[in-house]
Amino acid sequence: MSVRLAGSRLVSACAALVMTALAASACGSSSSSSSGGGSASSTTSGPHKVASIAAEVPAAIASKGTLTVAADATYAPNEFIDKDGTTVIGMDADLAKALGTVLGLNVDVVNATFDAIIPGLTSGKYDLGMSSFTDNKAREKTVDFVTYFSAGTAFIVKASGGPTINTLDDLCGHHAAVEKGTTQTDDATAQDSKCKAAGKAGVDVQVYTDQNSANLALSSGRADVGMLDSPPAAYQVQLSNGQFKLTGQIYGTAPYGIAIPKGNGMAMPILDALKELISDGGYKAIMDKWNLKTGLIDNPVINGATS
């Protein structure tokens, strides 16, 4: 993982622009949750319960009847807050509900800070994490993943007067806004060391608790470059009314993964439910709704980290 900005906060423009750009609901920011109720109105083909897949769900989870799914709802269009100020919406929320339908389970999507989700999975607070997690080998030591999308990291700057950042090497001497716990934080921090080792000015890595705060740093001028996943980066540029632009090359393309408590028996049912949605068109319908035209996959796997 790991925006939102306009005026001092791009996400403020969401209510007006998202409707026309993505036919989605408007957004804001606050702690919240949403009940999936085992349905997924976002998909045009209508997902349905598949008894053979539902039977794979471990008894302890099936008896609860509800999957609690954590998402950091500051990352439109993947996950963000609806105009009611409480409901988590977006690609991940819709996909979670569709998966729940196939599994015969209700889904409760709750807002959580990104770096608290994996600890919440290991403690049993959450059943799934669906928050644009990059599936990497370090995270696979703690949780299991089912891959479902492919994305890289993009750079975003002010359209007027912003620096040209083509690659990570160009971050030397710049102020980079990133969200805590993300691969972008790791990359920017590592680049800071590389810049200094080469005798150059380091990277001022500004780490924020959520993506909204990182975006605000960019819009206010505290940071001069933002680093985030390519789909949310493109979305924020679209919402900025010309204030921001993408710069340089997308790098580090890797799979997104649905995070699952390690070895709890849910990886296979989630994988099979996702394959069902890919087969019946529900997966593509969700991605089309959120204007995610690239990054779709047709071969999800368990623990598919590439690095």
| CATH code assigned at 227 | 3.40.190.10
Q: Is residue 135 in some structural domain?
A: yes
The type of residue at 11 is V
Q: Mark whether 75 and 162 lie in a shared domain.
A: no
Alpha helix (H) residue ranges in 59-210: 59-62, 91-103, 114-123, 137-140, 183-197
Q: Mark whether 31 and 122 lie in a shared domain.
A: yes
Q: Mark whether 204 and 107 lie in a shared domain.
A: no
Q: Mark whether 268 and 126 lie in a shared domain.
A: yes
Residues with Cβ < 8 Å from 286, sequence gap 6 or more? 40, 42, 43, 91, 94, 95, 98, 277
Q: Mark whether 174 and 267 lie in a shared domain.
A: no
Nearest to 4 by CA among 197, 297, 210, 169: 210
Which residue segment(s) compose the domain that 145 sits in?
10-151+255-289
Q: Is residue 299 in some structural domain?
A: no
Q: Is residue 201 in some structural domain?
A: yes
Q: Mark whether 162 and 135 lie in a shared domain.
A: no
Q: Mark whether 40 and 120 lie in a shared domain.
A: yes
Tens of pLDDT along the chain (307 residues) come to 643 333 333 333 333 333 333 333 333 333 333 333 333 333 345 799 999 999 999 999 999 999 999 999 999 999 999 999 999 999 999 999 999 999 999 999 999 999 999 999 999 999 999 999 999 999 999 999 999 999 999 999 999 999 999 999 999 999 999 999 999 999 999 999 999 999 999 999 999 999 999 999 999 999 999 999 999 999 989 988 898 999 999 999 999 999 999 999 999 999 999 999 999 999 999 999 999 989 999 999 999 999 9
- Which strands form 106-111's sheet, in the order they lie side by side? 33-35, 106-111, 66-71, 128-129, 244-261, 143-158, 225-229, 175-179, 204-208
Q: Mark whether 175 and 147 lie in a shared domain.
A: no
What angle do the packed helices 14-22 and 230-239 form, to 10 degrees? 110
Q: Is residue 134 in some structural domain?
A: yes
The count of domains in the chain is: 2
Q: Is residue 2 in some structural domain?
A: no
Q: What is the pLDDT of residue 28?
A: 33
Q: What is the pLDDT of residue 4?
A: 36
Q: What is the pLDDT of residue 35?
A: 37
Q: Mark whether 204 and 116 lie in a shared domain.
A: no
d(CA 155, CA 74): 17
Q: What is the pLDDT of residue 44?
A: 45
Q: Mark whether 238 and 278 lie in a shared domain.
A: no
Q: Mark whether 238 and 212 lie in a shared domain.
A: yes
Tell me if 254 sits within 8 A of 132, measured CB to CB. Answer: no
Q: Is residue 82 in some structural domain?
A: yes
Q: Is residue 43 in some structural domain?
A: yes
d(CA 237, CA 158): 9
Element (H, E) at 239: helix 230-239
Tell me whether strands 175-179 and 74-75 are parallel, antiparallel or unpaired: unpaired
DSSP type of residue 170 = G
Q: Which two tokens stand for residue 81?
A: 């807050």
Residue 161 burial (C-beta neighbours within 10 Å; 0-12, 13-18, 19+): exposed
Q: Mark whether 37 and 81 lie in a shared domain.
A: yes
Q: Is residue 103 in some structural domain?
A: yes
Nearest to 85 by CA among 32, 34, 36, 35: 32
d(CA 225, CA 177): 6
